[in-house]
Amino acid sequence: MKNTLHDLPWPYPRWIAHRGAGKLAPENTLAAFLAGAAHGYRMFECDVKLSEDGVPFLLHDDTLTRTTNAEEALGTGLSAVGGDQPWSTLSLLDAGSWHSRAFAGETLPTFEAIARYCRHNGFHLNIEIKPSPGTEYHTGQVVARHAARLWHGAVVPPLLTSFEVPALEGALQSQPDLPRGLLLEALWDGWLETAQRLGCVAVVCDHTLWDAATVSQAKKAGLRTLSFTVNDATEALRLIDLGIDAIITDSVDLLSPT
């Protein structure tokens, strides 16, 4: 799987559903992906980290408390950090009731399950590498290794992104042919040079950071431009007019990808 995206037309859809469809259904669950697909989305963003025993699974936060019943299920004295628990424990948690009663019993998905769902349906995936603290480089290595295996032979590989530079360094070391993108909440000193050093094909910025100057700067460096998290139609049109390559949104029911 040769990383030639620098030289080819951008192969991904413009519209990307954030954490599946993480407002209509519990974020980072299969239910959220199903909701996004039902609204016509064909590319999804999700967060992937490692369990204590090395299983990649979907979870945004460092801890389990916001989006699962971990406090009740684990009891006192056990760590609520997702990466501190083995998959045998994580797989039993309720990751749906926090959202609404309709999703009670929804489980945390493995990365492999989501990858197989996407590949079976011809969907694209933006994998945000979301390491537990202190595991950044290792998580990047492992997630990239699994991604390469799960998309082996695919025409279009997944896009690996992260705010954590060491995670992208691990991904680069492990699977240099997979495309990478640097996530940015601010344009810190050296962001462009860092993206280039990491061999990134894209930068993924907070939508407020994009204007004509920053888009031009990124494109002159040969980088594609993605924007998060855009939930307003007026802002989406502004970004499209700037030439942004992709828009990540929660508002899958309001912003049509067609």
Residue 155, judged by CB atoms within 10 A of its CB (0-12, 13-18, 19+), counts as: exposed
Rg (Cα) of the chain, in Å, rounded? 18
Non-local (6+) Cβ contacts of 91 within 8 A are 107, 108
Largest Cα–Cα separation, the chain: 53
Q: With contact defined as beta carbons under 8 Å apart, do 124 and 37 qualify? A: no
CA–CA separation, 116 vs 128, rounded Å? 17
Angle between helices 136-150 and 111-121 (to 10 degrees): 40
Q: Which runs of E-coded beta strand occur in the chain?
A: 15-17, 43-50, 56-58, 124-129, 159-162, 180-184, 202-206, 224-228, 246-249
Token pair 């999703």 is found at 103
- Strand boundaries in 38-147, DSSP class E: 43-50, 56-58, 124-129
Q: Of 257, 222, 251, whose CA–CA distance to 23 is shortest? A: 251
Q: Which residues are catalytic?
A: 18, 60
The conformation of residue 185, written as its DSSP 8-state character, comes to S
